[in-house]
Amino acid sequence: MTQSAKDTPFLSDVKTLRERARLHLEDGAVTSSYGGDVAKTIEILQSVLATELVCVLRYTQHSIVASGISSQGVKAEFAEHAKEEQQHAMQVAERITQLGGVPDFNPSGLLSKSASQFAPGKDLVDMIKENLIAERIAVEHYSELIRYFADHDPTTRVMIEGILAVEEEHADDMHDLLVAHQGKPMLPNT
């Protein structure tokens, strides 16, 4: 027999809440109401951090080395995306810290933990394609994570949902750039 939300008692006893808040202060933001596995969440977020940092590096390199007569607008877009990926990395690092972990910024392990790859690209169109591929990987991966965290860790889920929305915008931007530079739509018109 499963319990419904209305069958689950709501803790409204302020005295009990106050007592619980005083227990286990060393756990910081992680209270007894945390429904996830803290160690597993930190491990997952280390991978998300690595993915975001690899994206920062790839977009930054592309914003600097992209060349050609039509490259200025694309370079600016790459630079903007690098800044947004850096913001994502900082959000994730902060969440790791809130959960009692230490964010891993060690460059030696970034590629092995990252869901995306670092691909320099041989020309402007190739760089756009590599960034679109990386964004599509992030969209798929972060969508899975949102389902994984569900109600077990709403704070992490909401953070990933916000990052996912930006990654979807990035994918759309890269698709538009690819269409503009290849002269044909990649997606069917609906």
Asked whether residue 2 carries a pLDDT value surpassing 80, the answer given is no
The pLDDT score that the predictor gives to residue 188 is 63
Contact between 88 and 166 (Cβ < 8 Å): yes
The domains found in the chain, sorted by start residue, are 35-182 (1.20.1260.10)
Average pLDDT, the chain: 88
Element (H, E) at 119: none
What are the structure tokens assigned to 147, written together? Answer: 């389902």
Of 30-39, 48-57, 79-88, 102-111, where does mean pLDDT reach its minimum? Answer: 30-39
**What is the pLDDT averaged over residues 128-147?**
96
The tens digit of pLDDT for each residue in 48-72 reads 999 999 999 999 999 999 988 888 8
Q: How far is CA 19 from the centre of its chain?
A: 35
Contact between 124 and 71 (Cβ < 8 Å): yes
